[in-house]
Structure 1
């Protein structure tokens, strides 16, 4: 039972204060003048003011509440190193026993591990969430069992009681780690790119260790190269990417004697290899409607350097104009087709025929260019079926399909072949799904082609005849488009069609873009899930072999989600480098960083939490020195000292009932005030 005095004034407090000030002036004046009875009038006035304050006696029935203490246990990956697990278990058991033995105290144990998505140790988040579930007035203290390596100290809550940090780890702990200071996300093929690394030692590094260490560099899982590098200084590592697309580069340090973990001795970088400028040579025959389509397509891409060679005045043309009066310059044909041909990534022959402009030696050089790794696209018109066809030249040895000599002049709808439904150049062209009829417009002319023995027919025309044929010749690639009416799709004839998409894919496949390879094994990471994709022109069930970062091997069946496209998923995967193999295809992929965030810094320290501990009045203690005792200290006092740490009892309570009683009955107030007034009057009257 608690009793105290409460006031419920009959008039507002400001008015009451004004009356008190006014009467105080009158009483002071009366006392100064020496008027008789002023003291009794003063008592009567004070009584009136006291009555107007409405004094009451309040009785409360209170039930005391226990104090709440948090024990936050950090069980993240870095707490599993060295002797920390044993320290953690022993300290937790002892603290639970000591805190549970304190009178009027409740213990709340919060355990946390690694946060998802590699966000590290969210110690302050756990403390904040625990605070939200408890009344602030009952919180008497918090004990943090951790190595102090947290990743959310910037959202530390305003804790109303002492917070103590109990550090795991040993004074002699030390660790070596590899840090990627800067690395580009993409690089130009065949150009040198520089990565900045640093090897650093943390903690109590043993004396006598050398200041040099080995660094092994591996690209796409190949055999690593070994280099000797200094410790503690920035390193510039120059590299040239081996291929276009994603390149996975792994850097590894050997484990040093005595370091607490080798998990941060590796680092991986993914760099996308891209071409600087795509150099394209467009060789046109006589002008026609489709010529501008090719030119607009190539000029619209800022990454393409286009050289357009066209025949405006063939030798057979006789119009009587003197050559000296023609506003033309001599075109450097020898330089283009003999000396500089290897500088081009793609050559396009658009309705070009033998006209005596390019000697056979030039065309033979282009055939050699294809065999050595170049790319040539033949956009065939009616001339391809004549005696002047490029097929009647040295280029015949690289052209995968022969013209029959017939040109079909009738409307037809270009369609994908069964192979074309699987080939990346035509797969899903224009959003076309397998089995659907194309909704694009018709073409009206096709050069009849012999299917040949080596080429792959991905599109067909009249009566299923080959329309688009692709082939690999030596190290290079060749494509033959058996119609010059692709421009009708650009003009929107009968609704048009995916002409831009088709030509873009075709050009990029010929220039060996990795995303358009027919046989490919790739992987992408989404959180902790590895999505593996296998693209192939062959049919049949497939499964992928996956080597995980810890060295174990698993076999995962793949599901065919589209013709020629198989997918498998590896969920809840461990972070690190994965090696994939399916048939003759292999790939590497990084899931998350090589070293999780938990292993970026592994040496126990109280520096990060120092501002939080200081603001709360708590202390930082190393468990290697022993577990401090626990005391209770008044609020506002220092809550830590040598060998002890304190909690602050809050003396919280719940009010069950409240009763108000007047200090004096009304009639007593009347008698008291009247009596004082009469005494004052009598005193003045006698005098």
Structure 2
């Protein structure tokens, strides 16, 4: 209960001031003239003036509020190093015991973990959020238990009380860190990229460690060994070995005594893309579909097309001089002998033997396929004749043999049961709305090897794909795919089919029929196995720490099996399913929590000094708690201070008039009557 005197004037204060001045003037005049009764009249006037000021006695019933002290525990990944986490737990328990025993004190504990999306330790944001939920007039201080590596200093709020840092660092801490700069997300195949690598020994590192070993591996293969210098930038040139995702791991062995080996290894994932695709298109007898192939390839700006069209075969004798038919002779020797390996894809569109390409050249094309090249054959009526390209050395790589039959009738191409599982034709029906249009010609084929993905008349092979040596061959048993392009009977998915064919032939990873890969989303892995088989076994996942776990794969679409896996840690994961393997890096290439592992006070020092707080090491012992006045230094040798706020909450307020009106009237009347009687007696 507290009591105060307040004034609630019955008239404006300027009016009361004027009356008070008039009383003083009257008093002066009475004293100058020597009038009797001046004292009683003056007291009567003062009583009236006091009544006009309206004095009241205010009584408040107050409830004292506890001071709020924040204890922030840093439980981020960097606090798991050494015995930091244990030191924080012990300090937090001791502080809780002291603050609980402290009178008029409320403890509010805040736990801070790793930030989302590799954003680091967000102590300032957590403290600001807690302050927003507490009245500023009750905050007596904040104690941070951390290594001082804070990543959200821009979120700091003004603190009305001292902030203290009790850091978990120790004398003699050191760590070896590997970093890589300017690692691109994409790189062009065949072109050299340069990354900058650096190895640093932070803190009290070992003596004589000027050279350290470095291991570099690609896609989990046997690593290459190097010796590199510490403390210097190393330019690392690199050419990606294949298209698609390339997983590169750089690591240096752990050394006894360092804080952690988590930053001794970095996983970088770079997608290899082709700059320009070189395609050789060899057209035989001109036909309506020839322009379709040319338009398709020319519409892609990433394709360099060389088109070889036979307009005048040698057997045609019309008397026109050769010099008037062409400006230069076509460089067949250069294309098919000297520079054939420069092409990513060779397309034979209704080509037949006419003596222009000798068997030696076609035999070189066969060697080109077996060595890793790709050939697509779009067969026309000539493919079933005696001059068929099948009657050349290319027969060794063509997956289907032509018969003498040619079906000149309408039919709709159908995706075979195997084709429903193959990535080239899987889901092709969904790429085109409505029913596919008819084709009007089908070259009869007998598949000798490979995979038949599409069928035509009487379910006979229409599209056959095959692996030959290191290369690939595709055979399309019709020259009427252009009907879809022209919109005949509504058309069909011609562009998508030909695009997938070209990409499969050029070994694009997303169109491999037998493959294993994974996609990462946060700490979750989506493992995907594509196969032409009806069932696949389990996939074995090997974590960065070497633990192995088997997962069952379930079929989610024809030919596609999937499994979900929650990765327990950041690093390189290896996947195995039979003969198929894959690697994937989970988490950021360089986790921010392990970028700076040594405890630091530099980041928080400006904020702590501004709040008059202090910085101390937990290895020196837990400091004592003291009360300090606001604005005074709040830290000293072996102690830290908290500012008592003396906050309270008013429960009720009672006001009683100090001078009741009847009493004031009676008192003023008695004084005036006394003055009158006194003057009358005189």
Same fold (TM over 0.5): yes
Distance 1:357 1:50, change over 3 A: farther
Find the counterpart in structure 1 of residue 61 from structure 2: 61
The reply to whether residue 574 of structure 1 matches residue 569 of structure 2 is yes
How far off is 1:573 after superposition?
Answer: 2.9
Distance 1:47 1:451, change over 3 A: farther
How far off is 1:644 after superposition?
Answer: 1.2
CA distance in 1, matches of 2:40, 2:288: 121
Between 1:1-10 and 1:176-185, the stretch displaced more is: 1-10
CA distance in 2, matches of 1:145, 1:446: 78
Preserved CA contact (<8 Å) 2:7 2:54: yes
Q: Secondary structure at the match of 2:390?
A: helix
Find the counterpart in structure 2 of residue 604 from structure 1: 599
Query: What is the TM-score with the length of structure 1 in the denominator?
Result: 0.91
* Per-residue deviation, residues 646-669 of structure 1 (Å, max 9, x unmatched): 111111112111112223223455
How far off is 1:533 after superposition?
Answer: 0.7
Preserved CA contact (<8 Å) 1:243 1:273: yes
Find the counterpart in structure 1 of residue 514 from structure 2: 519
Find the counterpart in structure 1 of residue 173 from structure 2: 173
Find the counterpart in structure 2 of residue 415 from structure 1: 414
Taking the TM superposition and a 5 Å limit, the aligned residue runs for 1:397-408 are 397-408=396-407
Taking the TM superposition and a 5 Å limit, the aligned residue runs for 1:661-676 are 661-669=656-664
Find the counterpart in structure 2 of residue 619 from structure 1: 614
Distance 1:666 1:354, change over 3 A: same
Q: Secondary structure at the match of 2:90?
A: helix
The reply to whether residue 134 of structure 1 matches residue 130 of structure 2 is no
Distance 1:29 1:659, change over 3 A: closer
* Per-residue deviation, residues 497-520 of structure 1 (Å, max 9, x unmatched): 211111111001101111111111
Equivalent residue pairs, number? 677
Distance 1:50 1:514, change over 3 A: farther
* Per-residue deviation, residues 358-403 of structure 1 (Å, max 9, x unmatched): 2222222212211211111001112222222211222222211111
Q: Secondary structure at the match of 1:250?
A: strand
Preserved CA contact (<8 Å) 1:375 1:478: yes
Find the counterpart in structure 1 of residue 362 from structure 2: 363
Taking the TM superposition and a 5 Å limit, the aligned residue runs for 1:300-339 are 300-326=299-325, 328-339=327-338
Q: Secondary structure at the match of 2:225?
A: strand
The reply to whether residue 559 of structure 1 matches residue 567 of structure 2 is no
Preserved CA contact (<8 Å) 1:430 1:501: no
Find the counterpart in structure 2 of residue 347 from structure 1: 346
CA distance in 2, matches of 1:214, 1:504: 46
CA distance in 2, matches of 1:361, 1:31: 139
Any unmatched runs of 5+ in structure 2? none
CA distance in 2, matches of 1:35, 1:182: 99
Find the counterpart in structure 1 of residue 492 from structure 2: 497
Preserved CA contact (<8 Å) 2:567 2:586: no
Find the counterpart in structure 2 of residue 466 from structure 1: 461
* Per-residue deviation, residues 172-206 of structure 1 (Å, max 9, x unmatched): 11111111122011112222211111111222334
Which of 507, 521, 538 is the aligned partner of 2:502? 507
The reply to whether residue 73 of structure 1 matches residue 73 of structure 2 is yes
How far off is 1:432 after superposition?
Answer: 6.8
Q: Secondary structure at the match of 2:145?
A: strand
Q: Secondary structure at the match of 1:289?
A: coil
Preserved CA contact (<8 Å) 1:577 1:594: no
CA distance in 1, matches of 2:342, 2:39: 117
Distance 1:28 1:429, change over 3 A: farther
Distance 1:390 1:134, change over 3 A: same
Taking the TM superposition and a 5 Å limit, the aligned residue runs for 1:196-595 are 196-206=196-206, 208-326=207-325, 328-431=327-430, 439-452=435-448, 454-593=449-588
The alignment's C-alpha RMSD in Å is 3.1
CA distance in 2, matches of 1:350, 1:22: 115
Preserved CA contact (<8 Å) 1:576 1:595: no
Q: Secondary structure at the match of 1:331?
A: coil
Distance 1:442 1:656, change over 3 A: same
Query: What is the TM-score with the length of structure 2 in the denominator?
Result: 0.91
Q: Secondary structure at the match of 1:524?
A: strand
CA distance in 2, matches of 1:492, 1:297: 15
How far off is 1:280 after superposition?
Answer: 0.4
CA distance in 2, matches of 1:244, 1:40: 112
* Per-residue deviation, residues 299-351 of structure 1 (Å, max 9, x unmatched): 12111111111122333444554444446433222222222111100011112
Preserved CA contact (<8 Å) 1:282 1:347: yes
CA distance in 1, matches of 2:45, 2:484: 105
Q: Secondary structure at the match of 1:293?
A: helix
Q: Secondary structure at the match of 1:489?
A: helix
How far off is 1:110 after superposition?
Answer: 2.7
How far off is 1:679 after superposition?
Answer: 11
How far off is 1:39 after superposition?
Answer: 12
* Per-residue deviation, residues 550-569 of structure 1 (Å, max 9, x unmatched): 11111111111112111111
CA distance in 2, matches of 1:375, 1:10: 105
CA distance in 2, matches of 1:486, 1:126: 64
Distance 1:166 1:318, change over 3 A: same
